[in-house]
Amino acid sequence: MELMVLLNALVTRLLFVLHSLIGVWRVTAVKKEPKYWLLALLNLLLCLETGLTLKFKQGRGYKWFSPAIFLYLICIVPSLWLLEIHHGTQYCGNEPGAVQVNVSNQDFNQSRDSSHGSEGTDHHIIQTAKVFVNQLSTICETVWTLALHQTFLLLLVVGRWLLPIGVEITRDQLSQLLLMFVGTAADILEFASETLDIEDVRKNYALINAILAVWTWSMLQFPLDLAVQHIGCKSSATARRIPSLLLCRYSAELWNIGVSLFIQDGPFFIVRSILMGHFRIFNQMLVFFTAKNILVVTLQLYRLAVITLDFRATVLQKSRKGEVCCCPCEPYEARAHATGHQENEMKEFVAFPPKEESQAPSEDH
What pLDDT sits at residue 341? 45
Q: How confident is the model at residue 294 (pLDDT cuts 50, 70, 90)?
A: very high
Residue 76 scores a pLDDT above 90: yes
Angle, helices 67-86 vs 43-56, to 10°: value is 170
The Cα–Cα gap between 110 and 77 comes to: 35
The residues, any chain, with a CB within 8 Å of residue 23's CB and separated by 6 or more, are 76, 79, 80, 83, 148
Q: Residue 255's closest CA among 233, 228, 276? A: 228
What pLDDT sits at residue 61? 79
| Cβ pair 214, 267 in contact under 8 A | yes
What pLDDT sits at residue 113? 52
What pLDDT sits at residue 330? 46
User: How do residues 318-356 score in pLDDT, each as one tens digit?
Assistant: 777 765 555 544 443 444 444 444 445 444 434 444 444
Q: Residue 215's closest CA among 65, 77, 82, 85? A: 77
User: How do residues 131-151 score in pLDDT, each as one tens digit?
Assistant: 776 776 677 888 889 999 999
What pLDDT sits at residue 243? 72
Report the pLDDT averaged over residues 160-185: 85
Phi-psi region of 350 (alpha: psi -120 to 50; beta: other; left: phi over 0): alpha
Query: DSSP character for 226?
Result: T
Instruction: Kindly report the length of the chain.
Output: 365
User: How do residues 240-269 score in pLDDT, each as one tens digit?
Assistant: 566 777 777 888 888 889 999 999 999 999
Angle in degrees, CA 350, 352, 358, rounded to 5: 120
- Which pTM was predicted? 0.76
The Cα–Cα gap between 132 and 139 comes to: 11
> What does the mean pLDDT of the chain come to?
78
| Cβ pair 164, 58 in contact under 8 A | no
Q: Between residues 6 and 127, which one has the greater pLDDT?
A: 6
Q: Between residues 215 and 62, which one has the greater pLDDT?
A: 215
What pLDDT sits at residue 152? 96
- For 69, counting Cβ atoms within 10 Å of its Cβ (0-12 exposed, 13-18 middle, 19+ buried), the class is buried
Q: Residue 10's closest CA among 48, 45, 62, 54? A: 54
Q: Strand, coil or helix: what is 65? A: strand
User: How do residues 54-63 score in pLDDT, each as one tens digit?
Assistant: 888 887 878 7
Residue 189 scores a pLDDT above 60: yes
**Burial readout 2-11 (b: 16 or more C-beta within 10 A, e: otherwise):** eeebeebbee
Q: Structural domain boundaries of the chain?
A: 1-88+139-227, 229-233+240-321
The Cα–Cα gap between 176 and 165 comes to: 14
* Bridge partners for 65 per DSSP: 224
